[in-house]
Amino acid sequence: MSAVSFGSRLRTSVSSRGSLCVGIDPHPALLAQWGLSDDVAGLERFTLTVVEALADRVAVIKPQAAFFERFGSAGVAVLERALVGIRDGGALSIVDAKRGDIGSTMAAYADAFAGEGSPLAGDAVTVSPFLGFGSLRPLLDLAAANGRGVFVLALTSNPEGGQVQHARRPDGKTVAQTMIDAVAAENAGASPTGSVGVVVGATVTGVGREHDLSVINGPILAPGIGAQGATPEDLRAVFGPALDQVLPNSSREVLGAGPTVAGLREAAARSVEAVENALRA
């Protein structure tokens, strides 16, 4: 894909376009809000409008794979078109697929989401490490070889996540910190930043007291800005010394401004400004 690492390309994109990542989450309620049908035609209209509006002006766009997969092969084809459009517009893409498995199955996921020539391969993909960080090895290796990134779930904002993520090993370290430390090891020595990141919800409280994110030398994807309750001003309290690594994600806050291209662009511009003011204050 690229001789330049994902981490380097992300740093370049953020420096020119700001730190905002915008999700594409075409769930039924948003399709209805836009006056669109809950079918492949509505999905396509929604998705391509977002890509047209934002791919040439925000740093990162994150399509949520599930909302495309629910329509079968026709929906996946829309996701593939979206990834082409995002790339053509100059933004980076994160396919929010949260895949996680072992052995040959994980290798197959790696081919799908990080393989050279795969229509489902964006610039990066989200993964679940809770079969053990080592289970991600096929994807981590292929992504690195092809200049792509990987975002590893670490601290999610859903209440159920704490059952696993906050559990402690015999040495007292949480499962989440175990994953954070493993990401740090992947990124060791990378410059200007590593290509393996973590996902930490912007709505998660007490991150800095329990977990050290400053070690990762990589990006922190932070969903939850807007409709999920977090504000840009919350980022400093949540992420503290790791603030310069944060890539805040906003979905419904921006998408709700559709269905016009102009409305989406205005909402994204406001979000970019608010995020930059919070991160750089």
Pick the closest to residue 226 from 247, 251, 246 (CA basis): 251
Instruction: Please state, in angstroms and rounded to a whole number, the distance separating the CA atoms of residues 50 and 55.
Output: 8
Show which residues are catalytic.
98
Predicted pLDDT of residue 208: 65
Task: Calculate the CA 137 to chain-centre distance.
Answer: 19
Predicted pLDDT of residue 226: 67
What are the beta bridge partners of residue 87?
none
Q: Are 48 and 82 in contact, with CB atoms under 8 Å apart?
A: yes
Q: What is the pTM of this model?
A: 0.96
List pLDDT tens digits, range 189-246.
999 999 999 999 888 876 766 788 989 999 999 998 766 667 777 888 888 888 999 9
Instruction: Please state, in angstroms and rounded to a whole number, the distance separating the CA atoms of residues 123 and 114.
Output: 8
Token digits of residue 42: 């509505």
Instruction: Please state, in angstroms and rounded to a whole number, the distance separating the CA atoms of residues 44 and 271.
Output: 24
Across the chain, which has 281 residues, the per-10-residue mean pLDDT values are 87 96 97 98 98 98 98 98 98 98 98 98 97 97 98 91 90 94 97 96 76 93 78 82 92 94 97 90 67
Helix (H, G, I), strand (E, B) or coil at 193: coil
Residue type, 200: V
Predicted pLDDT of residue 227: 63
